[in-house]
Amino acid sequence: MEKTSPEKLAAIKLHLRQSGGYAGKPVERIRLEMAETAITMPAHPGVSIQAETIGSLYGEWIRPADLNANMERRAILYFHGGGFVSGTCAFYRDLGSRIALAGGAKMLIPEYRLAPEFPYPAANEDCLLAYRWLLAHGYAPRDIVFGGDSVGGSLALMTMLALRDHGEPLPSGAFLLSPHADLVHLDGESYRTRAETDPTGSLEASRRILDDYLGAHREEVPLLSPLRMNLEALPGLLIQVGGHEVLLSDAERLADRARAAGVPVELEVWEGMWSVFQFLGGLLPEARQAIANIGGFVQSRLAP
């Protein structure tokens, strides 16, 4: 597999570190920077974008132009990241298009309510709403795959656990990109061992994510720590994580716990990469290969 040169990687990481500082940025600044970045992202001629009303939520379908007829009633339900305080369909069109094309499947991205205006459990409720909306519109659970990055990966996990505990049918699988598997204890050793190599994440940033989402709710919320929950009966998982990110331990421990519970798990650790490096599919061959692997996973879980 082609690899990015060390010099290019170092330059990208330096840029990310200099433009980062998530832990101390006001929410308004985070959202403005995301909107400005979204404007610069490339459009993909191989997909169409269609607005959708998902109950009370805005969402968008990303649909490959050459969609196989067998895949018309199959879908990826993608929960975006953004620390619970940011994230839009526009910002995720590039990554979503690449994944949809690789998987040969439509993708639906709901814009769940954001903190601090809408703290816990708003995002969790909205993710459940989006899945139930798909079921109400004729999609079978076996024909849906969840996806998510960062806290979106957490939401994918939490949604599946909530569905299982409610006795509701689960999707056929889920791919998780750099998931926060434990937003309560924040005790993964990689918070320490990768503190200097991660250009975007940190223990302080994760603490800020938890604080923003909990708001005035200060009771412990077990659901925000999927790593500590019973993971039995979940569908197959693909977990991708960067070898240089502080969430490495979350991904590794999640994979171990899930396997011990009998869940089929594929864990990919991408050496030298950081949180959700897949966003740079236009620059990094590693990101393109990771997305191709996601596509293969989607196809395998949605196979007739």
Residue (of 301, 298, 245) closest to 271 by Cα position: 245
pLDDT at 132: 98
Tokens in use for 264? 């089929």
191: confidence class by pLDDT, cuts 50, 70, 90: very high
Q: What is the pLDDT of residues 6-35, one digit of tens each?
A: 999 999 999 999 887 777 889 999 999 999
- Which tops the pLDDT comparison, 136 or 24? 136
Q: Report the relative pairing of strands 57-64 and 47-54 from DSSP bridges.
A: antiparallel
In angstroms, the CA 39 to CA 41 distance is 6
pLDDT at 68: 85
The rounded percent of the chain whose pLDDT value lies above 90 is: 91
Tokens in use for 166? 């409610």
Q: What is the pLDDT of residues 247-295, one digit of tens each?
A: 999 999 999 999 999 999 999 999 999 999 999 999 999 999 999 999 9
CA distances from 186 to 59, 73, 105 (A): 31, 39, 35
What is the CB-side half-sphere exposure of residue 27 using CA atoms within 13 A?
16
SS3 content of the chain, % helix, strand, coil (to 5): 45, 15, 40
Prediction pTM value? 0.97
Give the 3-state secondary structure of residue 47: strand
| Structural element, H or E, at residue 266 | strand 265-270
- CB-count burial class (<10 Å; 0-12, 13-18, 19+) for 262: exposed
- Which tops the pLDDT comparison, 98 or 66? 98
Domains recognised in the chain with CATH numbers: 6-301 (3.40.50.1820)
pLDDT at 60: 98
The rounded percent of the chain whose pLDDT value lies above 70 is: 100
Arithmetic mean of pLDDT over the chain? 95
